[in-house]
Amino acid sequence: MNKNQREASVQLIAIPISVVVFFILMWGEFSKPASDYEFVWPILWAIVASVMASILVTIGFAMIFPNWLENSIKDERDRRIHSLGKDYTMGFYVLGSVLALVFAKLELDYYWIALTVFMSASMANFAHSLVKLLMYRFGTFE
Amino acid sequence: MSSGLKNKLREIRVASNSMTQQQLATLVGVSRQTIISIESGRYSPSLELAIKISEALDYDLQQLFWLAKD
């Protein structure tokens, strides 16, 4: 398993953890009107949780699988899969950006705009990691 | 799955002094996984890599890789 695959595997675990952390921290806010939600710190903590989870999962995998951190050569196939992965999942970013713009135009509460951006970025990264692992396993679908 | 690019890399590699996948990978500067993917048809190499492989195996490029006719 090379660095690309390792990172993708770790992200598949870290991203859901960050989303769960966000909603746990937001839980107390849902009794208020959306305009009063305090969502900035939960988003920042979710990002911190994602980074921490990535580090801990990497350490955990390295303890379970002794050759987990072995580096293999990064070649044209790795670059192609990384690039195709971005192409295949770019739609999440575009959809999130467009929705955020529409919500801003509709003057929805800031929370909905922030949630849209946060979730689209999380889903894009999750999908990117998943698609990359699938391409490593089954080929590049070209 | 991959495009219509076919190859007989495995056959030629084994015939060529029983070169291992790792030896060929090292010769052409890619990982063994990439050689495995090419042999199984899950990855179509770039022209540059295809030429390097044909040179490493001392085999004609068009005999090694070809486009499948639909």
Q: Where are the domains of chain B?
A: 5-67
What is the spatial distance between Cα A48 and Cα A110, in angstroms, rounded to a whole number?
21
Residue A35, Cβ density class (10 Å: 0-12 exposed, 13-18 middle, ≥19 buried): exposed
For chain A, give every domain's residue range.
Answer: 3-138
pLDDT score recorded for residue B1: 47
Span A20-49, mean pLDDT?
94
Does the ipTM exceed 0.90? no
The token pair that represents A102 in the structure block? 């529409």
Answer whether A77 touches B (CB < 8 Å). Answer: yes
Residue A54, by phi and psi: left (phi above 0), alpha (psi -120 to 50) or beta?
alpha
Pick the CATH number of B5-67 from 3.90.1150.10, 3.40.50.10470, 2.40.50.140, 1.10.260.40: 1.10.260.40
What is the spatial distance between Cα A64 and Cα B69, in angstroms, rounded to a whole number?
47
Answer whether B6 touches A (CB < 8 Å). Answer: no
Nearest to A42 by CA among A24, A15, A54: A24
B24-61 pLDDT per residue, tens: 999 999 999 999 999 998 999 999 999 999 999 999 99
A50-80 pLDDT per residue, tens: 999 999 999 998 888 877 777 777 899 999 9
